[in-house]
Amino acid sequence: MEDAGERELVVLGRIGAVYGVKGWLKVWSFTDPPEAILDYPVWRIATAAGRESHRIDAARAHGKGLVVHLPGCDDRDAAQRFVQAEIAVARSELPEPGPGEYYWAELEGMRVYARREDGGRTLLGTVDHLLETGANDVLVVHGCTGSIDARERLIPWLPEQVIVEVDRACREMLVDWDPDF
């Protein structure tokens, strides 16, 4: 069961595997740039025992990723319990996005409406997650209660072309998108 504290966390990465014999961990960062995950002094790491707060005592680039060391995690066996664990930080620690900028986490769960020619709008569903494709990000929208149908739609994140308006307060967005597509 998710409590209020869990809702105030934003996942910024995942621990992928143990690295070496001294307890280091490979990290997959979801931040841009990837090393920005190191800017947050306290990580809330989801383990089998629940979320634990940890500070990184060492970190470095490794290939296309990062490796980190946590205090007291000095061998492979100690590090193994963190493998595949999510790394989160408190939402309040994130900098405010600039005008027209959004965190993926705040878009997830938003209701998505298509603009109709008559000025009305049609509920397409809610944002389940986003995909990074290289050319542009893509909203993965799933049908929901009250939506036009139960289809999954892939809607490109193209502000001013496809994304007409995002209303953070109402947790909804308006898109210029054909519901039949």
* Same domain flag for 50 and 113: no
The pLDDT tens digits of the residues spanning 114-151 come to: 999 999 999 999 999 999 888 899 999 999 999 999 99
Number of domains in the chain: 2
Residue 122 inside a domain? The answer is yes
Instruction: Take residue 55 and report the two structure tokens written for it.
Output: 């500070």
Residue-number span of the structural domain to which 157 is assigned: 104-175
Residue 134 inside a domain? The answer is yes
Residue 4 has pLDDT above 50, yes or no: no
* Same domain flag for 77 and 121: no
pLDDT bracket for residue 85 (50, 70, 90): very high
Say what the pLDDT of residue 3 is: 44
CATH of the domain at 123: 2.30.30.240
Task: Give the position of tokens 């492979």.
Answer: 76
Residues in the chain: 181
* Same domain flag for 120 and 85: no
Q: What is the Cβ-side half-sphere exposure of residue 154, based on CA atoms within 13 angstroms?
A: 6
Of the residues 72, 93, 114, the one at which a domain ends: 93
Q: CB-based contacts of 10: which residues, under 8 Å, 6+ apart?
A: 88, 89, 90, 91, 94, 103, 105
The pLDDT tens digits of the residues spanning 10-62 come to: 999 999 999 999 999 999 999 889 999 999 989 999 988 899 999 999 999 99
* Same domain flag for 40 and 109: no
Q: What is the pTM of this model?
A: 0.74
Residue 98 inside a domain? The answer is no
Task: List the one residue out of 148, 145, 140 whose CA is nearest residue 123.
Answer: 148
Residue 31 inside a domain? The answer is yes
Residue 99 inside a domain? The answer is no
Of the residues 93, 119, 144, the one at which a domain ends: 93
How confident is the model over 83-99, as a mean pLDDT? 92
CATH of the domain at 11: 2.40.30.60
**Bridge partners for 137 per DSSP:** 132
* Same domain flag for 89 and 20: yes
Of the residues 41, 68, 93, the one at which a domain ends: 93
Say what the pLDDT of residue 2 is: 41
Residue 6 has pLDDT above 80, yes or no: no
